[in-house]
Structure 1
Amino acid sequence: MNETKEISALFTLIDDPDEEVFSNVSERIVHYGTGIIPNLENLWETTPSNDIQSRIEMLIHRLHYTDLTNDLTEWRDSAYHDLLFGALLVAKFQYPELHTTPVIQEIEKIRRNVWLELNSFLTSLEQANVVSNILYNYYKLKGTEIAYLNPDDFFLHKVLQCKKGNAISNGILYLVLAELLDIPVKAINIPRQFVLAFFNNDTDPLNITDNPQSKIIFYVDATTGHPFTHKDVEQYFKRISVPPVASYFKPLSKKRIIQILIEELAKCFDTSDLSYKKNELKQLADLLDN
């Protein structure tokens, strides 16, 4: 962006010790949008003061965050919620310069490898075994516990780069592949878990009016790709002393999946110096309620 007289004047006030002045200056700079980021980056490089550099970094973060808020609002209001695009938007919270094309290309490679092993005569369990074999054995995807120690475990592009994710990020990758391959897999609402369910081929999982559990053939642990049974789920509910009501077996909407991803990611930023990121993520999650 060409540096106008107003921009130059605003930049000279970034170091103003009066917080009210700096707040007004910040609002004016953010109003310019992400086009002003190269100017801020140039200012950062020529500024010797660490305090001013910190203010510039926060301004750049605010600009990216405002842009992300607008993109997520558009995604929320679109007629079709593309799960892959939603997950990549979440990754842009931490990696605003993320290039999505390499991610899409990598997923297409995996999809093709799975597709080559599938045929119309396979049972649902055989289909699941093909997906899991390619994803977890051939592709070497690993699963980690959700420990909130490493935000990268929640970001799809990092999962693909490091071949390691948690149940939510691995599960989203599995769901994206399943949708591309027309395999009826959905995430369901089991408490304290992110569980994938294989539904009957003749069932529309999003239009089940009653007893959704009866339409599920088996489940998949997204951390490992291993299938498990209805009996395993019943035992889990007994262990946590929660009755297995029908709503727990209804498929989660894509909007709700992305909301869960954001809510869980926010728990990675519990320290006082990063609490602003936790609050921003909560705001993004709340945005998806509207």
Structure 2
Amino acid sequence: MKENKEISALLHLIDDPDEYVYNTVSEKIISFGKAIIPNLENLWENTTSEDLQEKIELLIHRLHFRDLTNDFTAWAAGDADLLEGALLVARYHYPELQKNTVLQEIEKLKRNIWLELNSYLTPLEQVNVITSIIYNYYKQKGVEFAYNNPDDYLINKALESKKGNAVNNGIIYLVLCELLDVPIRAINIPRQFILAYVDLQHDLLNPVGHASEKIKFYIDPLNGQIYSHKDVESYFKRISVPPTASYFRQLNNKKIIQFLLEELSKCFDNERNHYKMDELLLLANLLEP
């Protein structure tokens, strides 16, 4: 943004010790939108004050977050494409993210899987092909849920480092299956992020049946391991939770991204970064029905 007297005065006042002045100046700067970011970056480069640099960094973050909030609102109001939602979450931590790199990696994976699939394969054989390409050929690794590394929750970093937790790997798996017309969905099993191969014909003929009846088998997106109905029944016994129908219902894309945001927010549950936790939960709340 071209600097004029008003912008010069505002930038000069960022370092004002009076909190009221600083808050007023901050809101005015935010009102200019992202066009003012180059001015803020220039000021950051030309100051030696760490306090001022921190204030500038926070202003730039707020400008990016305002845009991201608008984009999430538009995403939720539209078709809520899963890959697009995952890219929006990644932009929270990497606001300058170039999504083409992610799209190219997804396309490469999709093409490799498509070459191995055909209409004569059974559901289990289809999943074995997908799993083999992702975890054996492509070498995608799974890491346990932890809250000390936000990158574990971001699709760009999962594809770049070839490792992600269950929800991040799961989103990659789901995106690929959607592109390849393989009926795999995320379901609502407690304390897990688990995928299921859904029998679409059964779903059509028995819409009011128990949700688990529509599932052929389950897939752990951490490593591609397949589980049977018996395995899942044993899990429910182990955690002493009755396997009610709601736990087998399919999660829509908004629910998946909401879960991702909530889990990512836990990485910032400390005094220094608590505002980030609040922001991520605010984005998650935007996706409530």
Smaller-chain TM-score range?
over 0.9
Cα 1:167–1:214 shift into 2, 3 Å = same
- Residue matched to 1:245: 244
- Residue matched to 2:136: 137
- Residue matched to 2:69: 69
- Residue matched to 1:127: 126
1:104-141 per-position Cα deviation (integer Å, ceiling 9, x unaligned): 01100000000000000000000000000000000000
Distance 2:115 2:201 in 1: 23
Deviation at 1:210, TM superposition (A): 3.1
Distance 2:263 2:208 in 1: 29
TM-score after normalising by structure 2: 0.98
1:174-213 correspondence runs (5 A) = 174-203=173-202, 208-213=207-212
Structure 2 letter corresponding to 1:281: L
- Residue matched to 1:277: 276
Distance 1:62 1:130 in 2: 44
* Kept after mapping to 1: 8 A contact 2:203/2:214: no
Identity %: 61
Distance 2:202 2:253 in 1: 18
Distance 2:165 2:185 in 1: 17
- Residue matched to 1:33: 33
Deviation at 1:47, TM superposition (A): 1.1
Distance 2:285 2:23 in 1: 25
Distance 2:109 2:286 in 1: 32
Deviation at 1:204, TM superposition (A): 5.2
Distance 2:126 2:35 in 1: 47
Distance 1:72 1:203 in 2: 34
- Residue matched to 2:11: 11
1:85-104 per-position Cα deviation (integer Å, ceiling 9, x unaligned): 00000000000000001100
Distance 2:137 2:19 in 1: 55
CA RMSD after TM alignment:
1.1
Distance 1:201 1:135 in 2: 24
Distance 2:202 2:60 in 1: 47
Distance 1:32 1:210 in 2: 54
1:98-177 correspondence runs (5 A) = 98-177=97-176
1:253-286 per-position Cα deviation (integer Å, ceiling 9, x unaligned): 1000000000000011112111111111111111
Structure 2 segments unaligned to the other structure (5+ residues): none
The range that moved more, 100-109 or 3-12, is 3-12
Distance 1:68 1:93 in 2: 7
1:55-66 correspondence runs (5 A) = 55-66=55-66
Deviation at 1:159, TM superposition (A): 0.4
Structure 1 segments unaligned to the other structure (5+ residues): none
- Residue matched to 2:222: 223
- Residue matched to 2:257: 258
Secondary structure of the corresponding residue to residue 30 of structure 1: helix
Structure 2 letter corresponding to 1:167: A
Cα 1:18–1:112 shift into 2, 3 Å = same
Distance 2:234 2:44 in 1: 57
* Kept after mapping to 1: 8 A contact 2:236/2:242: yes
Deviation at 1:203, TM superposition (A): 4.7
2:119 matched to 1:89?
no
Structure 1 letter corresponding to 2:44: W
Distance 2:262 2:196 in 1: 22
